[in-house]
Amino acid sequence: MVVSNADSDLSVGHIAPLAYETPYFVFSERRIRARIAEFSRHLPQATIHYALKANSDPAILRLIRDAGCGFEAASKYELDLLRNVGVPPDRIIYGTSVKPASHIRAFFNYGVDRFACDSRSELEKIAANAPGARIYVRLAVDDAGSVFKFSEKFGADRATAVSLLTGAAALGLRPYGLSFHVGSQCRNHRAWANALSTVQDVVASLSSANIKLEIINLGGGFPCQYASPESVPCVAAITKEITEQYRQLPYQPSLIIEPGRAIVAEAGVVVASVIARVPRRDTTWLFLDAGVYNGLFEAMAYQGSTRYVIESLRPVATAGEALFALAGPTGDSPDVITREALLPADVDVGDRLIVRNAGAYSLSVTTDFNGFPKPPVYLV
């Protein structure tokens, strides 16, 4: 639902007048378009395929579609979302490297012909269910600088990658490219460039086998600045390193990037209300109508890294500020958002809070735990 014009932002002044029942999400159209433009400006040789898993709200998908992006999908259910908002098959890649056969067929029947793999069994599965498809192999790379790592679960070594791409033609498939993922919320600005150095050896080996790749998919992992004393690298710093390493390749295939978090995280906020204020031992707890199950999953204690910027819609008065612990509305003990929110000392039941940078991995992983529904989404 669009509630204002696209020039509006996410300031307290813009959000405070919104008289919607909490909790709800507000997304800035302008910020999403600006992030897409930033990637295009700093890495013009790359095609953006938005990683659908970060946020698959239909209104946001339509906005990203209209900005000219492609999409990276990971299941036939995500494919259905893209089909419902009119994304054509030539703007979709099936990027997860392990897939159900029925999902491969669904993509192929829709007209998608680009599939990732990282094993011989997956290559054969694709050949059986998507004959003639273009194949790109996912490499295992160093993801030590990231919060959420993938290298244990996904990725072929160099020799396997070469074997898969050289053997693709015998199965009726087209060797298309290589991909990697440096891990989600990566704080090492050189991670992508370092991974490209691994790719360089594979590209050289494939050239010896007379295989010239069309693309290299740099994956996602581009970070968002959450409430942390540790700063994260900007797009300009990351892409500068990528470009320098890219030029060292034997030749320059086209590039694909899969930003998800980096496009939507800072464009979205959650607006929640305080439903209880409860002193417990040395801490005062504020219970909100939004928590880790219905909007703020990455704040859950076992995730251990994401800390949102949280502020009050009501200005600090003469009472000053104090630290509070914030919890969600469910009866589950892990439903804790933070134990150190600095808010007006007199914050009380009925007050509204803004949770910033909550646009990624929030809507897409909400549950109906204890029956609490997914909050509605408004675009400004």
* Domain definitions of the chain by residue range: 56-259, 265-379
| pLDDT given at position 110 | 98
Superfamily of domain 265-379: Lyase, Ornithine Decarboxylase; Chain A, domain 1 (2.40.37.10)
| pLDDT given at position 4 | 43
Superfamily of domain 56-259: Alanine racemase (3.20.20.10)
Interval 323-350 mean pLDDT:
93
Q: Give the number of residues written for the chain.
A: 380
H and E: helices and strands count for the chain: 10, 18
Residue 157: partners with Cβ closer than 8 Å, 6 or more residues away? 139, 140
> At residue 34, does pLDDT exceed 70?
yes
> At residue 76, does pLDDT exceed 50?
yes
Task: Report how far residue 189's alpha carbon sits from residue 236's, in angstroms, rounded to the nearest whole number.
Answer: 10
What proportion of the chain, given as a percentage, has pLDDT over 90? 70
* pLDDT bracket for residue 3 (50, 70, 90): very low
Whether the CB-CB separation of 268 and 25 falls below 8 Å is answered with yes
| pLDDT given at position 197 | 86
> At residue 297, does pLDDT exceed 90?
no
- Worst-scoring range by mean pLDDT, 93-102, 234-243, 276-285, 304-313? 304-313
| pLDDT given at position 252 | 94
Neighbouring C-alpha atoms within 13 Å toward the C-beta of 285: 14
Which two structure tokens, joined as six digits, stand for 126? 């694709």
Whether the CB-CB separation of 180 and 199 falls below 8 Å is answered with yes
Interval 355-373 mean pLDDT:
92
Query: What is the per-residue pLDDT across 50-62, written as a single tens digit (0 to 9) for each?
Result: 999 999 999 999 9
Cα 314 off chain centre by: 31
* pLDDT bracket for residue 251 (50, 70, 90): very high
| pLDDT given at position 2 | 45
Query: What is the per-residue pLDDT across 158-172, written as a single tens digit (0 to 9) for each?
Result: 889 999 999 999 999
Query: What is the per-residue pLDDT across 36-47, written as a single tens digit (0 to 9) for each?
Result: 999 999 999 999
> At residue 143, does pLDDT exceed 80?
no
Is the Cα dihedral 311, 313, 315, 321 positive or negative?
negative
Nearest in space to 119 (alpha carbons), one of 155, 75, 149: 155
Nearest in space to 54 (alpha carbons), one of 20, 107, 95, 1: 95
User: Which among 72-81, 339-348, 357-366 has the top mean pLDDT?
Assistant: 72-81
| pLDDT given at position 61 | 98
| pLDDT given at position 348 | 95
> At residue 187, does pLDDT exceed 80?
no
| pLDDT given at position 317 | 77
Strand partners, 344: 321
> At residue 145, does pLDDT exceed 60?
no
Question: 262-289: b or e for each residue (b if 16 or more CB lie within 10 Å)?
Answer: bbbbbbbbbbbbbbeeeeeeeebbbbbb
Tell me the average pLDDT of the chain: 90
| pLDDT given at position 151 | 62
